[in-house]
Each structure stands twice: as C-alpha cells, then as structure tokens.
Amino acid sequence: MGLQPKTVLVIQPDGTEQQVAIEQVQAGDIILVKPGEKIAVDGIVISGNSYVDESMLSGEPVAVSKKENEKVFAGTINQKGSFKFKAVNVGKETMLAHIIKMVQEAQGSKAPVQKLVDKIAGIFVPVVIGIAILTFVLWLILGGENGIVQGLLAAVTVLVIACPCALGLATPTAIMVGVGKGAEKGILIKDAESLELAKKVNAIVLDKTGTITEGRPVVTDIQWNNNDDATRNILLSLEKQSEHPLAEAVVKQLEGVDGVSLSSFDSITGKGVRAVYNNEAYVVGNKKLLVENNITIANELLKYAEEWGKQSKTIIWFANSKQALAVIAIADTIKETSVEAARQLQDMGIELYMLTGDNEATAKAIAQQTGIQHYKAEVLPQHKADFIKELQQQGKVVAMVGDGINDSTALATADVSIAMGKGSDIAMDVAKMTIISSDLTKIPQAIRLSKQTVSTIKQNLFWAFIYNLIGIPLAAGILYPVNGFLLNPMIAGAAMALSSVSVVGNSLRLKWKK
C-alpha cells in the first residue's frame, strides 16, 4: 500500500503542471512522470518514452520499455526517461489495489488450527476433578473409620500430582526453543502453526527471480573479436549514456575502465544506441541494428552468440561502422546455493515447482540448471495463487517461497509461506517464515527444525501423560488394598514439579540437535 506516491503532477488543459493529491486523480487526467518517480495510477502512455521497473508486479528484473499507447501500472518505478500518460484505472481499480485486496482476502480466509493440546486440556481438567471426587467418594464408602481423612488426602494428592503444568508446557517450550534455534540459523518464524506444519510439506512452489536467481541482470560472458578489447572504454562510455536497463550490467562489468568523450549520441528505440568517437561511429544493440547498418559479424562471434542464446541469455552486440567488435551475454544468474537446495529438498521426497513470468526458454534453462523437474513459464501473479490451490486440492501440503509483491497473494494462499529476506516488505509481511540471507538451503534446515520440534512436542506430551497415568492411580490409593501404600501429598507435589522440569529439559535438548 505504501508503494503509491502521495501526490502526482497533473497537466492542466492550459498546459500548466499542478501537484494533486493521489485521492483527487480521476480517470482521463494527463499525468507527467519524471525519471526515478513512482507511477501513481494505471494508464496509457500518450507521449515520451522510458523504461519502467515492473519487478514488483511481474517479478522480472529487466525494466520494460514504454512508449506511446503502452500500459503503465500503479506502484511501478520509472527509470531514466520521462513521459505523459492518461489515467485509466484509479483508486481501488488499479492492479496494485487488486493485489492488496487479494492478499487481504487470502490472509483472512485462513482459520487458525485448533491445537491438539488445547483439546486434551479441555478434557483433562474436568476428568481429573471427576477422578478426585470419585476417589473421595470411594474412600468415604470403603475406607472405614478413617475414610473421610484418607479420602480428603487422596483427593488432594490426585489434584496435586495431576496439575496440568507439564501438559501446558509441552508445546510452548518446544516451540520457543525451535523458534530461537531458527533465528540463530537465519530463519525467522512468525508463528507456531507454520513451524508445526512445515514437517508435513510435500510440495514447494518456488518463484524464479530473486528466489532461485539473484534477481538482477549481470554480464555472464563477453567475447572480443580477435581477443582485442582495446575499444572497451568506448563501450563503457556508450553504455553509461544509455537508458536501457541492461546497460547498467555492462557498466558494472567494466568497472575501473576509463571512459572517453563521445559526440552525436543517439538512442534508437527498440534496437540500441549510436555515438561518434574520433570521427568513427560505434553502436551497441541487438543483431537487427547491425544487420540494418550492413555491419559484418565474424563467424567466431556468431558461434558464441548462438551458444549463449541456447542458454536463454540476452545477447548484445558492440560494433563500429564496419564490423562487430564484441558480443556480450547478459543473464539473471542462479544463486550458488539454489542447485544444492533443490537437490536436498528432492532427496527429502518433496516435489519442487518453479513458477515464473519469464518466457518458456528461460524457464526451461533455469529448471535444467537447478535440477527442478516441474516448471511453468509466463505465469501471471494472480495465477500463482490458483496453481497453489490446485496442488492443495490434490491433497498436498504446499509451501510457497517468494520475494516480491507479485508473490504476496500466493504466499498468503500457501499452507507454509516463506519470504526471502532481501525481497519486498509486503512479501515478508504476508509470509510466516523469512529467510534472512535469501539462501534456499535454509529451507531444508527449516523443515528439519520443524520435524525436530514436532518430535520434541510429542515426547513432551508422552512424559506428561506417563506421569499422570502412573501418578493419578497411585495418588488415588490403588495400591492401598495390596500393600497399604498411600502417596504423600508432598511427594506428589515434587513429582508434579519434576514432570514440568523433565518437559523443559527435553525441550532444551533441541538446542544441541543439528
């Protein structure tokens, strides 16, 4: 909700600019967007062009080119150019508002799970009081002269030894230690429900960008013609002036190289940029730009471009007026830990599904490199939640892992929701778990921690019940007819305290488990 700007610049009928509060913007208003500003409402570009970062909606890292008659959406960020657009959807009608509404509905639809211990405690207390009364009555009838005194003592001893402290401590102590251990490992767990449920997860849905991959384009390969990189300073200067989002990746790659002074800089929409240095024209752009200018490309460079293209990398060419000087491959690289995390999760018998708004070729390449068997490409944000519902209808317990606003509805829909710590605030707000380091290998750790915690809860409940099953009959005087043994109320009090200590001690063992 905080992504929407508070005010916008509306162009009045006389051509003047007026700052207007976002609430006062109406459909049909003409709005000016300057470089670096957030877009206030959904609309259609009527003049100017730029690149807009739509990653918060689509999840894809590369900014999208916007020119006349193209749609823009509220909450997205304009980059270097400026443009005017006509407001179409305002207020509650914008795509961002629809996403916010879907998240709220998904969050509200989840009923808290009734804990097993709550049910047991609801039965346990009246049953124990019933046993105490029954003990007193039986002693009164069968106890002879001392029936009243012995009956009172036995009834009090039953109540003392059956104090449900151990039962009440069984779950919260284990969860407290489990959550603390998770935090030490860089896994922040918001509630006990997700910690308990994580052990049952048998399907995990992974967002691609920012979750499996780094979430930003970087230069993965660069090949110079005849291995001659003497013109790299010209390439750097061209890309520094370019508004294209991929240009930043090249600039970062050539960090430390000195730039040169260019003249006649020109941006060719949809193709690349051109400039002049020492009376020689240079271009950076796609292959189409080189073909149109009759620039020759060496076979060796073509082979590299073809090979990188098969890996779904974006190819950029750098050339002078006669020949291609270099070919550059840019891609959103896979995190070092993603492959290992995918292997560990699949070894645990968990099905992995990768969802991305990216194209089929890129999705297939990423799935193959990480070893993920199931993937879906060109998935819109609202369809991610639908896919999770499909898996849930098949009886699967589904975890969703994402980092963007586009993942927030899916996160709220999943049984267990996990956000990447370096992602958006809304994803972390919706998710019940957050991986601080954005390292996917933390997910198998979280599942193991869940299994250990649930196992500890079961052990605690076992100890609590064993004390009660043995202690209550002894306190009631079941051995009195056999050997005259009656349990002293003070010993019963010590036994009750010991049951609580054993439960707490057992929970603390979690700390030392790997």
Q: How many helices (H) and strands (E) does the chain have?
A: 18, 22
Which class for 282: exposed (0-12), middle (13-18), buried (19 or more C-beta within 10 A)? buried
Q: 352 has which bridge partners?
A: 204
Is 229 known to be catalytic? no
What would the 3-class secondary structure string for 252-319 be? HHCCCCCCCCCEEEEEECCCEEEEEECCEEEEEECHHHHHHCCCECCHHHHHHHHHHHHCCCEEEEEE
C-alpha 50/C-alpha 417 separation (Å) is 35
- Cα-Cα end-to-end distance for the chain: 40
Spot the catalytic one: 207, 332, 358, 407.
207
Long-range contacts of 1-7 (CB under 8 A, 24+ apart): 1/100, 2/425, 3/38, 3/56, 3/74, 3/75, 3/96, 3/405, 4/38, 4/40, 4/74, 4/75, 4/96, 5/37, 5/38, 5/40
C-alpha 486/C-alpha 478 separation (Å) is 8
Answer for the pair 418, 439: CB distance below 8 angstroms, yes or no: no
Active site residues: 207
